[in-house]
Structure 1
């Protein structure tokens, strides 16, 4: 029996099927790793960690004050910059999660701040005195 030549879409479907089966097989192991890393990395600092954190912060302050950063290699400066960017990005992700909205705080259309209300009331009071 002659086999027919697979079309592009059949080859694509076979490839995606193989990738899916591989990923489905690897999922339990990867999930266990993710849970273990998440439990360790996302935990708040323990009270025993506070002195080490303070010492590291003091070293960082001294590093900046004495301008030792000019002695860093390009690779080291790129690594430190990437870590700083990661911290900033995670801060913004946390802000978005806290707001429960990506683009900013949701403010009702009829919202008027207390300051604006006070200014309007003051203008009305002054207008009433002048009249």
Structure 2
């Protein structure tokens, strides 16, 4: 029995080593992409951000969002529902329970 357990431990050790070797290039790629994509905006990007926000305000004032297709409206509603669900998941994780805050 002890020999089987030792053999299982050795197999698990080899599998973990192989997985770590296979995951290393993917994690390096993820790290470089995460640093670039998830970081704060650079000063060179601020004019583009300002222009996009002004366009958003302009389209809201002209009620451009009323003239959308059903497909775009459903897509937007589903996206909003997904964001709301992830918000609630974060709230549940943050407070440590589903039902309420521990006061």
TM-score tier after normalising by the smaller chain length: 0.5 to 0.7
Which position in structure 1 is the counterpart of 2:55? Answer: 59
Which position in structure 1 is the counterpart of 2:27? Answer: 31
Higher percent of residues as helix: 2
Rg: which structure is higher? Answer: 1
Give, in whole Å, the separation in 1 of the partners of 2:84 and 2:50: 18
Within 5 Å, which residues of 2 pair with 1:1-131? Answer: 24=19, 26-81=22-77, 82=79, 86=83, 89=86, 93=90, 102-103=94-95
Q: CA deviation at 1:56?
A: 0.4
Give, in whole Å, the separation in 1 of the partners of 2:74 and 2:40: 27
Unaligned runs of 5+ residues in structure 1 are 1-16, 108-131
Q: CA deviation at 1:84?
A: 8.5
User: Aligned pairs, how many?
Assistant: 81
Unaligned runs of 5+ residues in structure 2 are 1-11
**SS of the counterpart of 2:94?**
coil
Give, in whole Å, the separation in 2 of the partners of 1:58 and 1:49: 15
Output the TM-score relative to the length of structure 2.
0.52
